Amino acid sequence: MRQFFKFMFASMLGTLLIGMVLLVLFIGSIAALGSAFSMEGKPTTVPSGSVLHITLDQQIVDRGPKDAFNFDFGPFRSTSKLGLNDILDDIEKAKHDDRIKGIFLDLGVVPAGMATLKEIRNKLAEFKAESGKPVVAFADVYTQRTYYLASVADKVYLVPQGDLDFRGLQSEMMFMAGLFDKLGVQIQFIRGSDNKFKSYGETFTRKDMSPANKLQMTALLEGVWHNYIHDVAPERKLVPEALDTMAAQLRVRKAADAVAAGLVDSLLYRDQVLADLKTSVGLDADQEINFVELPKYTKAVVSRTGPDGTSTNRWSLPKVAVVYAQGEIQDGDGEDGNIGGATLSEAIRQARVDSSVKAIVLRVNSPGGSGLASDVIWREVTLAKAVKPVVVSMGDVAASGGYYISCAANKIYAEPNTITGSIGVFGIIPNMQGFFNDKLGLTFDGVKTHKYADMMTVTRPLTDEEKGIIQGFIDRFYATFTERVAQGRNMPVANVDSIGQGRVWTGTDALRIGLVDELGGLEAATAEAAKLANLGKGEFRTVGFPEQKDFLQQVRESLNAQARGWVAKEAFGDDVQLLGRFEEVRKVRAMSGIQARMPFDVEVY
């Protein structure tokens, strides 16, 4: 017995000591985080003769985090993001900063959509034209997406054994009907009666693309490609037709081909590129280049003057509110990366009642989601428009519910490659009876007080009558959707229906058919909102809504996101398509009510 207590107390003491050590390590890590966090809040010192180093290797979102942070605690690491708003502001700042002598685009994979890249590209072109400072691009491998950005540079370099992908665009979709057949699951997909282009449910109910989906997807890709080659061609002193032929014949098969085709200026290794960069920015060969990283430059201070040449106190200027709506639309408060109907509505309301806010820009980057939440947000946009100008700036995608919340604005801006429209609605109800009965051996029985009490169950198929009832819900919501658009765009409902039916459009086509007013990015939309409020350039400041989350909230959400990623990766490994399908199934499970959601995601590589 004495020996037992001896070992028990030794074990308890060991456990206590280990716990104390872990606690000390945890507190030390938090303290280190806090120290680094406070250090990051200090202004960045920029030496004279510096070069702004832009890598864009992190996810680019419309609005950067409130306080950038990085942590590494065992298996947990921060997932940093870059804000498009910060990138544009930094390039604008560098344009006026005498300490910055040029920009070095050090590119790899750029996780951003084509409309986002278009805004950055336009800003770089403006930087070159107005400052006279050089922009140099370099990469080991250029994807079509990264080359689109790089093509605006004064010089484009590629390593001698590198690669430039230039073969046009393609779309490949995975269909899961066969899988669900094997599992005994039936996905009951109900869309608006005339919504033949609303193809979201085809992923789960078909084994191939419908003719309507092929039609809209072909038009979409051709539109994106047309804009791509017409942007790249003039910067490279080529004609669009020549670029089209290069892709059609796959003329760029090795690095030397890219030079011969005029897409790249020279094949150089990194040290040779840096030597050339020194010359471009006026440094001697023996001088080191002082690179300033983009996230750090965000915290650099550059003195600016007002329109009359005198310094201005920006805090005293009237405000233009930029309300950020990024992610899928869902009911309630939402979470990081999604739009909560209640949260965004409150942000718009705050901007509306704030007398110091003279105009509102609603930045929309959303494929849609909950129809109910979209309508709640639309109501707040309508109320805001009654008292001050509201201008929408569309990002990579503003479709379905994303268009619903946009249509009431005074004006809508989109980039040529913005994906918009998708005016249509649908509902999805899985019937898992076969899976439960035949695969798992589970059966269900029960009682109900009324005929339709179990209409939304997943343990049996819908009856024809129930399908008709749900079809009625969806058709009524589609009618409301088209009426909202008709009212906001001053169009007959019949015209809206003819360009609706769930079909997606590029920004260029949306301008042609009247769904948007102007082509341009966030800065153009902000300038227009200020103009509508009778504010000139330099006579206002922008403020972001809604209020951003604090440091600890960011840490918690970063860890939660990584935990979800680990689950998916354990199941599917590194298979990108399967990981994407896992995410789609997760979305379907989370859906409730009528959905106003875009039918697919589009990526250009």
Segment 27-39 shows an average pLDDT of 48
pLDDT for 5: 45
pLDDT band at 215 (very low <50, low <70, confident <90, very high): very high
Planar angle of CA 64, 68, 73, nearest 5 degrees: 130
Return the axis-axis angle of helices 371-385 and 341-353, rounded to nearest 10°: 0
| DSSP, res 462 | P
- The residue ranking higher by pLDDT, 126 or 36, is 126
The C-alpha atoms of residue 35 and residue 347 are separated, in whole angstroms, by: 32
pLDDT band at 127 (very low <50, low <70, confident <90, very high): very high
234 exposed, middle or buried (CB, 10 Å; 0-12, 13-18, 19+)?
exposed
The pLDDT tens digits of the residues spanning 69-111 come to 544 444 444 457 899 999 999 999 999 999 999 999 999 999 9
Residue 316 DSSP label: G
Tell me if 411 sits within 8 A of 392, measured CB to CB. yes
**Residues in the chain, total:** 605
Read off the tokens for 600. Answer: 């697919």
Residue range 184-188: mean pLDDT, rounded = 93
Annotation says 198 is catalytic: yes
CA distance 8 to 17: 14
pLDDT band (50, 70, 90) for residue 459 = very high
Q: Which amino acid is at 120?
A: I
The whole-angstrom separation of Cα 421 and Cα 503 is 6
Are 535 and 318 in contact by the 8 Å Cβ rule? The answer is yes
Of 400, 406, 422, 558, the catalytic one is 400
How far is the C-alpha of 316 from the C-alpha of 304, rounded, in Å?
Answer: 15
Report how far residue 327's alpha carbon sits from residue 368's, in angstroms, rounded to the nearest whole number.
Answer: 8
Q: Which residues contact 93 (CB under 8 A, 6 or more apart)?
A: 297, 300, 302
User: For 225-252, what is each residue's pLDDT tens digit?
Assistant: 999 999 999 999 999 999 999 999 999 9
Is 118 noted as a catalytic residue in this protein? no
**How many CA within 13 A on the CB side of residue 332?**
4
Q: Could you tell me the sign of the dihedral formed by the alpha carbons of 249, 228, 120, 408, in that order?
A: negative
pTM of the model: 0.85
Strand order in the sheet with 339-340: 186-191, 426-431, 595-597, 368-370, 329-330, 339-340
Q: What is the mean pLDDT of the chain?
A: 86
List, in sequence order, every residue forming a beta bridge with 518; answer none if it has no partner. 413
Confidence class for position 14, pLDDT limits 50, 70, 90: low
Across residues 266-278, what is the average pLDDT? Answer: 96
From the list 198, 319, 358, 388, the catalytic residue is: 198
State the alpha helices, DSSP H only, in 97-143.
114-131
Helix residue ranges, H only, 386-442:
401-404, 433-434
Q: Which of 173-177, 454-458, 506-510 has the highest mean pLDDT?
A: 506-510
Residue range 381-408, pLDDT digits in tens? 999 999 999 999 999 999 999 999 999 9
**pLDDT tens column, 305-362:** 554 555 556 677 999 999 999 999 999 987 778 999 999 999 999 999 999 999 999 9
